[in-house]
A and B are shown apart, each in its own frame.
Chain A
């Protein structure tokens, strides 16, 4: 037997290449897909080679062995003949220009089949990539729903761009309410509008008597006739409120669709019937879609007539005006038109209208609000970054994979697949990944939207603006999937196909591509920078949240139950009757077991101010030089209020039995008020002049005490000035009942307190609503900050994890590639420390570059966020330090595994593997 080594020595160089040519020639008539062709050639040439080698080992001469092996292929047409009937050997693929579409589609089908097959072979890679993309696209789709609802989608009314909000403008405020008389004049004299109407800003409650004898509180908003026409809302059943109803002063209501459906089962015969509201009949004229709730979330709208309002009503600024522009009229033209009307009115009625102009604002801007727009844009930016990180990670996975596959690609390219064809194949794989990821992301987005309503703070979204899962969202996901598929696929595809095929074939099986690593490092550095940016933003928002949550609210009571108690006005026509009612309720509640104190207040600390502000001045002081009129929050409370919420009176006294309707008009001011208006003078005994309106007659009250400062809003920047008025001297039609328990949680008292009110309210004419604790009020007041902070933190966390996965990826890959190198170093006496240093130096550079870029971007971001921050500076050094610490720690976790592996490289094993 001849020596096998001599046999292989005489073997012609690269016999496989010969078989390849031979096989390619025989397969040529089939015009196979290049991938398939390459596989067949690979498999068959192997067989022939093995056959040849066996023959040579058996002693056959080289030429004879080659001839015998070649005989395996039978006649020149045999192979093609046998293969032709097979279905899976898809017909020809040509890339010549002008090929029929069908062949491109067939290409696509092949590419798809191939891609799916390759993912099945590498399920780990596919799962990682798909999951990453699903997270990125899912988060993006949920945020898209928010952005779509707030920024992109037109409001759900016809031609929303023609609807404008109308406010009165004074030197101190651009958005004052409009008086009924002015509203009528705007509508009659202004030529730009099809309709001008108004609504009351707040939504109140009414007690609706049921035929079954059970009364319930329903929400109600007062509107003028024509308001639905101005909005462009048409009735579903019946009609809307008209100017004619207004003229007739009809007791008419319109129901919202959801209320009609839930309370009346969508019964159309309700129209024309009367509802007993607050004990009086109101005629139901129609039902309108819930889109009308853009002006207020309410069950029904009641008509308040403004035509024929007495001249003195011109000073009663209670309405928010809303108008529908005539077609083609611009906002500027309408503004000029109404401004002219306003100045005419100012001349005609100088007492009430002097110095008053108008402000017109697009309805959509007024409804959505700047705060919400800002939040939406913030989130959009955040999730876009997260998606970019996802793309970078998947691109990295693909790059690593492309490096491994460089040999396969080179073979295919050597076999005649041109570069565009290979790029298309690789892109098909990327797009398949992103499509599956996008579909999963859509499911994830839908799931997020399912739970969103419970996470989104009350009042963040205006009523009738809802987050919906619809075709737009599906389209967004599809678009995002395609976009990211191309984005993360393009670079690796070009990178992988850029090599000359000979170069790749010559490369050994480890097939490293230097350019690929550089690109991958850059991508990971970008991910780190993005994660730093998001972490920094999250840090600032978290510190803001902590600041507003830990703000000194001023009062000390831990747990206080509160509820709005709204007795029907006609039952308590006088202040005496009203006070009597409040006193009776307070007595009844105070008698309950477990109740420590009971109080009444018009506004809750940190709650929305119901009574608004009054213009204030110190009697005897000269009016301010600059013509501005200082104002302070007007808060009506009963004597036990200060004790109930544990708010200390720092100077003077609280309210007591002296402060009765017939007594001296008194008030208590807070510390900020004293600082602002008394300039070191002793407040007790000073007299404050209070006016609800510049023209209204002032009321003078004597200051009897100074209360400790409370916060009006948790994030207020200017100290909140307050004037407290004794309830007996100005009882309001609805008040908050506050109940402080002897011990424990206040919320458990709610049922017994409600029962106590019911015992006083035998006729069921008292509306009780907004039952919550002071804690709940404070929680709601910080809701926006919490929402932003939590969401941005969640996304920053996600970004951090993804970036660390990327970091782990490049390190693990580089260790894998350098096993031999590390082995050699080890063999030459490198210590564990040397190995770790050498492995980590590259990663450290990536991390450092990412961190530097991230910090630089954060400096810019801080300025963008400035308006959302409270109690923290945009360039807060502590936040920077924390971000670096968090990044450092997580990076340690990410690199620990691969670094440990590097230290465990056994020189013997590593070198033998070659």
Chain B
């Protein structure tokens, strides 16, 4: 087993926890974005702390699409390759709100238990 595969397994577990979903839904909340843009924004906003690889990002996008939280659409523009843009669906918006609440309570609980200031 390569290191990369091990890395992937760790990330996999991370994804299953649901925080990755929360991140992606938040990123596309203001407007439709394509995959590359999503991955760049995650990296940028986490100041390089979080990075999704192609091999995990897209399966995750497809899964969110499958659940009806995101909608992917091919958009063609003159003189450019067509691009797939992802938008938040109404259902996705509800899920995002709920997950934000859950996350807040989780972080708060962690702070109370561990004494780590969550600011």
**A75 interface neighbour in B4, B59, B60, B63, Cβ under 8 Å:** B4
Contact of A78 among B4, B60, B78, B83 (CB under 8 A): B4
Cα separation A79 to B52 with both chains bound (whole Å): 13
* A913 x B78 contact (CB < 8 A): yes
Mark interface residues in B66-82 (1 if CB within 8 Å of A CB, else 0).
10000001100011011
CA distance A46 to B39 in the complex (A): 13
Sorting the interface of chain B by its residue count into under 10, 10 to 19, 20 to 34 or 35 or more gives: 20 to 34
Residues of B within 8 A of A71 (CB): 4, 53
Residues 785-800 of A, flagged 1 when their CB comes within 8 A of B and 0 if not, give 0000000000000000
Asked whether any CB of chain A lies closer than 8 Å to the CB of B54, the reply is yes
The verdict on B55 contacting chain A, using a C-beta distance below 8 Å, is yes
B residues near A89, Cβ cutoff 8 Å: 62
Please name all residues of chain A whose beta carbon is closer than 8 Å to the beta carbon of B4 when the two chains form the complex. 71, 74-75, 78
Query: Is there contact, CB below 8 Å, between A78 and B84?
Result: no
Please encode chain A, from 70 to 90, with 1 for each CB lying within 8 Å of some chain B CB and 0 for all others: 011111011101110111110
- Contact at A43–B5, with CB atoms within 8 Å? no
Contact B5 A73 (CB under 8 A): no
Whether a CB of chain A sits under 8 angstroms from the CB of B2 is: yes
In Å, the complex CA distance between A871 and B34 comes to 72
Q: Does B58 contact A (CB under 8 A)?
A: yes
Chain A residues with Cβ below 8 Å from B63 are 85-86
Contacts of B36 in A (CB 8 A): 46-47, 50-51
Judge whether B55 and A72 touch: CB under 8 Å.
Answer: yes
Interface residues of B: mostly helix, strand, loop or mixed? helix
Asked whether any CB of chain B lies closer than 8 Å to the CB of A40, the reply is yes
User: What DSSP secondary structure best describes chain A's contact surface?
Assistant: helix
Contact of A46 among B2, B55, B62, B81 (CB under 8 A): B81
Identify the interface centre among A72, A74, A78, A79: most chain B CB within 10 Å of its CB. A78
Given contacts A72-B53, A73-B54, A74-B4, is CB(A47)–CB(B59) below 8 Å?
no
Question: Is A316 an interface residue, CB under 8 A from the partner?
Answer: no
Q: Does A194 contact B (CB under 8 A)?
A: no
| Complex alpha-carbon distance, A89 and B58, angstroms | 13
B54 and A72: CB pair below 8 A? yes
B8 in the interface, Cβ–Cβ < 8 Å?
yes
A47 engages B62 (CB within 8 Å) = no
Tell me if A40 and B58 are in contact (CB < 8 A): yes
Contact assessment for B56 and A47 in the assembled complex, using a CB-CB cutoff below 8 Å: no
Within B41-65, the residues touching A (CB, 8 Å) are 53-56, 58-60, 62-63, 65
Any B CB within 8 A of the CB of A505: no
Given the complex, which residues of A lie within 8 Å of B117, measured CB to CB? none
Tell me the chain A residues, 51-85 only, with Cβ under 8 Å from chain B: 51, 71-75, 77-79, 81-83, 85
* Pair B55/A73 contact, Cβ less than 8 Å: yes
Complex: A1 Cα to B54 Cα, angstroms: 27
Which residue of chain B has the shortest Cβ distance to A74 in the bound complex? B55
When the two chains form their complex, are residues B7 and A74 in contact, meaning their CB atoms are under 8 A apart?
yes
- Expressed in whole angstroms, the Cα–Cα distance for A46 and B34 within the complex equals 10
A558 interface residue (CB < 8 Å to B): no
Give Cα A261–Cα B12 distance, bound, in whole angstroms.
76
**B53 and A83 contact, CB distance less than 8 A:** no
> Is A245 engaged at the interface, CB distance under 8 Å to the other chain?
no
Give, as a whole number of angstroms, the nearest-CB distance from A226 to chain B. Answer: 73
Query: Which A residues form the contact surface with B (CB < 8 A)?
Result: 39-40, 42-44, 46-48, 50-51, 71-75, 77-79, 81-83, 85-89, 121, 509, 913
Q: Can you give 14 contacting A-B residue pairs, CB < 8 Å?
A: A42-B82, A42-B84, A46-B81, A46-B83, A47-B36, A75-B2, A78-B55, A82-B12, A82-B59, A83-B58, A86-B63, A86-B66, A87-B66, A89-B62
List of 9 A-B pairs having minimum Cβ-Cβ separation, nearest first? A82-B59, A72-B54, A75-B5, A74-B55, A78-B55, A79-B55, A50-B36, A47-B36, A78-B8
